[in-house]
Structure 1
Amino acid sequence: MVESAFATSISATTPVGLLAAERNSGGADRFTDVDDLAAALLERALNGNKIIDIAREHPDPNRRNHLSIVAVEQRERAFIDRSFTVEEQQSRGAWFLPEQTSLKCRSINLAAYVRHHPWHAISIASEDRARMRLAAGPDALAALALLIPLFDTIFAPIFIRASASPDPADAQRTMWAEVFASLDRIGINPSPALAVLDYGGGWSRLDRAGQAQARAAFLDALAAHNLVEVVTRFRAQRLQALAARTVQKAIRGTPLARQTLTKPLQLTLAAYFGGDWMAFLDYLGLPPNPNEEVTTALPTAKLFVGGASKAKAAAAEHGLDVGDAHAMLAAFLGQSDSVSPVDRRVEVLRRWWSEFDSAHARQNSQMDALWGIVEDTDYMIGYQKGPSFQLYQRLLPPGLLTDIAQYWEGTTLPRWPNAIVTEPYPHKIMAESFGSAVSIWHGIALTAWYICEGPYSRTSLEGLRTHHERDLAALAEAGTPIHPGLFDELIGAEKYLGKPQSLETHTHHLQLENGTVGIRISGGGERRDGFEILRDIITRHRRGWAGRHLDEYLKQRWTSELSRVFQEVHRTIAVKGKPPTVKQFARFAATAATHWFGGDLAGLSSAIGEKAPPSLQRVRLFSMPTHELIDAVYAALGGEPYEENLRITDFPKADGYRQRSRLATASVRYLQLMEALGRPPDQTEFGAKRYEWEWAGDLNGGWPEYKRAVEGTLNGPSLPHGA
């Protein structure tokens, strides 16, 4: 049982009661900085100031971004940097913090949007989300643990009103009663400005302008409150939940952190105690559990990837015959020789780089673009212009093509890690394994080509450095930077290029069914002489970089990915007191296993020195190349080749083809699931609701036909429906 009267009393009192107990026990001072920070940011938000800024490292908001808290003074900045640095919190035992997280920040800047963009505030706020590494900076953790819970609670009425709930009247009344009760508990008092948002308060009778005014009035009403009291009550409410859980688990004395901390409570500990479980127990007046182990640092990864040099070194160290050392290492790796799966793939990557470099170095203005030598997209059916289909098949030697297909043809599905399944795009996975160096060197070369040969380029020579900022940072972080002189030379070389020459524009007049004429314009853009000037600059820098860094870069690629898996295993042990299950392991290890072990989780486990899960069976159901399979499914669904102008002349028909195309592309996922499950997936496992089914009437009408089309490829191409 808990022996702390303070812990027992605060878990059962009100937020006001907890704050009074803190003052009486002398424990309130420890929260002064965090309460002042939260109150100051809330006040500035209500006054119309933006609190955070999200820098998009990629146009897709689900890719990595960077979040900054911008509305802070120097003293507050020092507190954030001191209290919310992931490394500092982990040194106190907070290994429960995720390496990467999705931040849904829509409430943090909402007040600023209501003040300055009243007509579109909700839409703009919905875009405030970021996917990022928590270790990238303290602001992300401060937002996740401190600000989002507070702002989500306070601004809940605005978002609920924007969602237009379809629930019955009684359910909505109950929900709104709970919302206003939660506001009342943290000191936000009832007022006419709040009442209009309540169910039956007259919101539905307001026009758009009236609703915008009501939201602004709600902010004014909030600003009139004692905001320090609001944030301290909110903190007290969160601490009460943590204390109550601790008391509940304290059956035979103080519970262990891993027995107590749910995910929401982990964030409470991070927000108000710097992730320090011992500091929280001290706050409660409880002694630590004698079995509590606080891990202040994870062990250093030791990687076992074999190789002839290691066998020779081991033989010399232990006085063994070199042949015996090779045999022992091969037995450890579970294979016939001592060359590890990682070494095999690194050797293929080196060979691939040589061919990639050679193709770019010999390209000239009389040749086609090299967009397609790197596979970076899935196969799609449609009219959109894209990379040259499987250009690498024409440019790479047969032996290299065979090795890429062999070494990257297996993968593991994290949710179903019971089998190694088929990877439909081995060249894409090979390029992902190579990493940022491919993205940036290929991207720079393509930019030079399209600037000179047209018709358009994604960026200018002057904008190249910014366009590839993320990849440049990744290479610099790996200790293999690209010399900045490359970009200066390219900018300087632009004056030697020829004058822009307009490319031919084609205007197409289309006769529509209703008798009108539509117009489609194709071609256009411009080209310039001088591609070879840019090519030679890029080639010189690319080969200089490779000579200095390629070996170290490739080593960094596999060591960093395997080390992250090792650290995640030990982070799990630190949090839960036991190793991850196979499914938990697969969630964070599947990518590294696919890149370096053909999807073999057991091989990856051995390489990081951990107990390997049972060996996985390799299952193969794909009976044809990926693009042929997708084409066959598309045809079986009734899809036909179509041109862009069909979207003008007969949009419903073209859109039906587009829907079938998306489903045909997803057929490889369907077969992967069959391989992993040992049976066809159901609609939920496949994620059928993510796709459109109007071409078949609805999902129930289209699903059986889709199953027939995909499963028909198991023994060869499917026949069109009705054939």
Structure 2
Amino acid sequence: MGEHPFASELATADPDQFLRLERDTGRSSRFAEIDQLVANVLVTALAGHRPISVVAGPKGSKNSDTLALNSLTRQEQALVRETYNLSTQQQRGAWYLTEQLSLKAGVLNLPANLRHHPWHAITLATDEVARVHLGAAPDALAAWSLLIPLFDDLMAPITVRATGSTKPGSEQEETWAQITAKYAAMGLALTSQSRVFAYGAGWSHLDRGGQVRARLVLLDELTRADPLQVAARFRAARIQALISATVKKSRSGTPLARTVLTKALQPVLSAYFGGDWLSYLDYVEMPPGPGEEIVTALPETKLFVGGSAKAEAVAAQQGIDVSDVEAMLAAFLGQGSSVSPVEQRVDVLRRWWSQFDVVHAHQAPGMHPLWGLIEDGPYAIKAGFGPIRQLYRWLLSPDLVEEVDRLWDGVILPRWPETIVSEPYPHRLMAETLGIAATFWHGVALTAWFVCEGPTSRTTLPGLRSYYRRHLNELEQAGTPIHLSLFDELEHAERYLGEPQPVYSHQQNANAGRTGISTGVVIGERRAGFEILKDIITRHRQGWSHRYLAEYLEHRWKSELTEVSYELNRFVAAYGRLPTYKQFARFAGTAANHWFNGDLASLYAAIGERAPATSRRIDLLPGAAHDFVDAVYAALGGLPFDEVMKNPGSPLANSCRQKAHLAAASVTYLQIAEALGRAPEIKEFGGDRHEWDWAGGHEHGWPVYQQAIEQVLMQNGAGGNLPGRPHR
């Protein structure tokens, strides 16, 4: 410990001494802006204002919530963007940061809820969980690393009391001793009025009104404290914990980051050092340990995906035939062509976008809706109104549809990455590869259609901007923003739409003298004027496409492949070895499925690495997955779904619903069979996620289900091949 005197001195200092050592050595200025930011957020919260806003993402979309810090000055916004940007911190060596995170953010708004909704404040705080993508906005990373830890400690007397405890008295006393110690470290103390929160101080004798008043008293006491001192002393305590852990492991020299940064200490490095371990070591006057450059300076990513475009240039430079260069490139890529898998798919996506644009531009009242042009989910047997099944096969050119079927018909399953299995819905995977731009432009056009043509729309024209907030943020982050005048124009155009007219489920017109009578159930409304909205959207979409489409497509593949390369290097830095094939698939599977038809070996080549193994390809799926699902449903004894669902609460409807869910999962069954080389067992299939009442339990239903799948395979000439057959 004597080798690092400054670090050792900081590790044993009390908060006042710690801050004094920082000032005396000129280190305090590096934290001045962060401390002031935290102090301002604290003042905002204790005054009864909400320091954050959480907007839920689209239903069914994972980790798509948006968390925004409210009331920041321009300088504070710039500080957050610069310091808490995910990619920037990762580039500095913050290998521990994950893309997706679930934040218990309600504690930040708890003071405001206590002021304005005192009777329900705890419930509101508990329910406010933000499931975010850290790369979408830096505010979430700032909240996770910098703000939530502070508010967790400040609000601990309230939250601990709210949850109650059945632990022995000695353990509860220890909990309150820790809370008191943390308050003391921040320069705070419970007064005679607020001490009622402590164990054995009379909390249980307060009625609900008395408890509410006690919480408000505590907030008032916190308000009277110096917020800048609270922020600085809390920071000192957190950094001191990191220093203590570092010093403890420094007996043989400066320890590596991965040996010090526990889950509890990782946010400290992100909060105060921007995720930069070397910056932290400089702060405590400790030299980097041997091998630390592996963690803090990961190799620059080099991608090998543009071979065909460079073949002629290389041939001319080296004085050899172009065909020879193309042959070498094909050998390097492990395929029969010098055109890389990424290039092939980018070309198809570009042509798909062109036809997608034409289809939307030609849409007119009286046509079928375009719901189904993009396949946004697996096929499911349902009753009622929904997307038109495989609409893309009718509206896109046959050669384009065939190329999508071919280039996106294989995937890997993370549990069994050694085998490339069949992708039941290639057009869904293609749309997923194309990403959020397609989702946005298609969704906006569909909203305009259903607002005008009815019967209902998932949002209104004024609500579009809020509904697509996450999409807009991500497109802006990608450097391909949507011009926000689109929404202003659509809102303005709404005044020129016709008056709402009812839409009937079954409309019949009868004449009674001069009076026409319409009968039926009103299920929504329609308004004339779709062409007005369509022309606005088409103009904006084509303008965006002309300016950004090429850049956006490059961003799609480059960001995913760069992320894989980064995660590979991060794994090596963290564990000192290359990942196994299965470990590699956990972070590389999505990119492999999007750009390489599930071929991990091709992905390895694209990031300049040699694959430790190759994948075999198995395909048991005969024809279209939609037809296979329908056939399995029929083989299980399923009846016409629309008819059965006219009485949705009946035992027959419940039975058919269960069979429909199992039929939809039959393509997953085939994928697992392809991966295993045999029929899966019920546990491998995940049978407990399904209902088997229709058969009297899974022990009776499972053999029937397997027999139905085998029967459909045999009817399609694939019977007897369940253990696996070569790719056709």
Task: Give the TM-score band, short-chain normalised.
Answer: 0.7 to 0.9
Amino acid at match of 1:321: D
Q: Which deviations, in whole Å up to 9, do the C-alpha atoms of 1:277-309 show, x marking residues without a partner?
A: 344435545343254328777665433225543
- Determine the C-alpha separation between the residues in 1 that align with 2:154 and 2:566: 37
TM (normalized to structure 2)?
A: 0.79
Alignment of 1:188-199 (within 5 A): none
Match of 1:595 in 2: 594
Q: Which residue of 2 aligns with 1:518?
A: none
Q: State the secondary structure of the residue aligned to 2:124.
A: helix
Q: Paired residue for 1:616?
A: 615
Aligned equivalents of 2:470, 2:19: Cα separation in 1:
47
Three-state SS of the structure 2 residue aligned to 1:598 is coil
Q: Aligned pair 1:716/2:715, yes or no?
A: no
Question: Counterpart of 2:102 in 1: which secondary structure?
Answer: strand
Alignment map for 1:170-181 (pairs within 5 Å): 171=167, 173=169, 176-181=172-177
Task: Verify the 8 A CA contact 2:7 2:285 in the aligned structure 1.
Answer: yes
Counterpart check, 1:454 vs 2:454:
yes
- Alpha-carbon spacing, 1:107–1:359, altered in 2? closer, same or farther (3 Å): same
What is the number of residues matched between the two proteins?
696
| Partner amino acid, structure 1, of 2:70 | V
Q: Report the counterpart of residue 364 of structure 1 in structure 2.
A: 364
State the match for 2:719 in structure 1. Answer: none
Post-superposition CA distance 1:165-189 (Å, at most 9, x none) = 7xxx5x4656534432320221366
Kindly indicate whether the alpha-carbon contact (under 8 Å) linking 1:623 and 1:713 is maintained by their aligned counterparts in 2.
no
Q: Which amino acid aligns with 1:184?
A: T
Alignment of 1:356-395 (within 5 A): 356-395=356-395
Q: Distance in 1 between matches of 2:198 and 2:655?
A: 42
Question: Which residue is equivalent to 1:510?
Answer: none
CA distance in structure 2 between the partners assigned to 1:716 and 1:258 by the alignment = 54
CA contact (8 A) 2:632 2:709 kept: no
Alignment of 1:286-435 (within 5 A): 286-293=286-293, 301-435=301-435
Q: Which amino acid aligns with 2:413?
A: L
Give SS of 2:63's match: coil
The answer to whether the 8 Å contact 1:186/1:230 transfers is no
CA distance in 1, matches of 2:230, 2:393: 64
Counterparts of 1:399 and 1:214, CA distance in 2? 71
User: SS of 1:64's equivalent?
Assistant: coil
The verdict on how the C-alpha distance between 1:296 and 1:535 changes in structure 2, with shifts beyond 3 A counting, is: same
1:683 and 1:215 map into 2 onto residues whose CA distance is: 52
Worse-matched range after superposition: 299-308 or 104-113: 299-308
Partner of residue 180, structure 2:
184
Note the aligned Cα RMSD (angstroms).
4.5
| Conserved? CA contact 1:670–1:710, under 8 Å | no
Which residue identity does 1:383 align to in structure 2? Answer: A
Opposite residue 601 of structure 2, the aligned amino acid is A
Change (3 A) 1:250 1:487: closer
Taking a change above 3 Å as real, the CA distance of residues 696 and 109 of structure 1, as seen in their structure-2 partners, is: farther
Contact 1:194 1:218 in 2 (8 A): no
Mark the CA change 1:95 to 1:461 in structure 2 (over 3 Å): closer, same or farther: same
1:310 alignment partner, SS class: helix
Q: Give matches, 1:225-240, under 5 Å.
A: 234-235=234-235, 237-240=237-240
- The CA distance in 1 between the partners of 2:125 and 2:637, in whole Å, is 41
Q: Is the contact between residue 154 and residue 183 of structure 2 (CA under 8 Å) also seen in structure 1? A: no
Displacement of 1:116: 1.4
| Structure 1 residues 425-504: aligned runs within 5 Å | 425-461=425-461, 464=464, 467-468=467-468, 470-471=470-471, 498-504=498-504
* CA distance in structure 2 between the aligned counterparts of 1:527 and 1:538, rounded to whole angstroms: 19
Counterpart secondary structure, 2:626: helix
What does residue 97 of structure 1 align with?
Answer: 97
1-structure distance, mates of 2:178, 2:446: 56
Q: Residue in 2 aligned with 1:252? A: 252
Structure 2: runs of 5+ lacking an equivalent = 508-519, 715-728
Shift of 1:546: 4.6
- State the Cα distance separating 1:22 from its structure 2 match: 5.9
* Shift of residue 581, structure 1, vs aligned partner: 4.7
**705-714 or 107-116: bigger deviation:** 705-714
Q: Matches of residues 529-608 of structure 1 in structure 2 within 5 Å? A: 529-532=528-531, 534-535=533-534, 538-539=537-538, 542=541, 546=545, 550-572=549-571, 580-608=579-607
Q: Please name the residue that 2:718 is paired with.
A: none
Does the CA contact (< 8 Å) of 1:569 and 1:580 recur in 2?
Answer: yes
Structure 1 residue 617: deviation in Å? 2.2
Report the 3-state secondary structure (helix = DSSP H, G, I; strand = E; otherwise coil) of the residue aligned with 2:412: strand
CA distance in 2, matches of 1:255, 1:565: 27
Q: Is the 8 A contact 1:61 1:130 kept in 2?
A: no
Q: 1:361 to 1:237 in 2, by over 3 A?
A: closer
Whichever residue aligns with residue 63 of structure 1, its letter is N
CA distance in 1, matches of 2:643, 2:155: 45
1:232 CA drift (Å): 6.0
Q: 2:724: which partner in 1?
A: none
Note the alpha carbon deviations across 1:136-172, whole angstroms, 9 max, x for none: 554333211122223224434554555577xxx5x46
**In structure 1, distance between residues paired with 2:676 and 2:151:** 42
Does structure 2 retain, via aligned residues, the 8 Å contact 1:461–1:491? yes
> How far apart are residue 321 of structure 1 and its match?
1.4
Q: 1:210 to 1:637 in 2, by over 3 A?
A: farther
> Is the CA contact (8 Å cut-off) linking 1:448 and 1:461 kept in structure 2?
yes
* Amino acid paired to 2:391: L
Distance 1:55 1:486, change over 3 A: closer
Q: Structure 2 CA distance, aligned partners of 1:332 and 1:340?
A: 10
After TM superposition, give the deviation of residue 332 of structure 1 in Å: 0.8
Contact in 2 for aligned 1:375/1:428 (Cα 8 Å): yes
281-290 or 192-201, which moves further after superposition?
192-201
Amino acid at match of 2:610: K
Question: In 1, distance between residues paired with 2:680 and 2:504?
Answer: 50
8 Å CA contact retained: 1:65, 1:131: yes
Provide Cα deviations, 1:479-512, integer angstroms capped at 9, x if missing partner. 65667776676667666655443223669xxxxx
Distance 1:97 1:484, change over 3 A: closer
SS in 1 for 2:292: coil
Q: Name the residue aligned to 1:513.
A: none
Q: Which moved more, 1:425-434 or 1:564-573?
A: 564-573
- Asked if the contact 1:2/1:254 (under 8 Å) is kept, the reply is no
Q: How does 1:119-138 map to 2 (within 5 A)?
A: 119-134=119-134, 136-138=136-138
Q: Under a length normalisation based on structure 1, what TM-score does the superposition of the two structures give? A: 0.80
Maintained 8 Å contact 2:53/2:68: yes
Deviates more, 1:532-541 or 1:335-344: 532-541
CA-to-partner distance for each residue in 1:173-211, whole Å, 9 max, x for gaps? Answer: 5653443232022136677856568599765x8776566
Seen in structure 2, the aligned counterparts of structure 1 residues 550 and 659 have a Cα distance that, compared at 3 Å, is same
Secondary structure of 2:293's aligned partner: coil
* 1:120 alignment partner AA: H
Using the TM superposition, name which of 219-228 and 50-59 deviates more. Answer: 219-228
Q: CA deviation at 1:595?
A: 1.2
Question: Displacement of 1:609 after TM fit?
Answer: 1.8
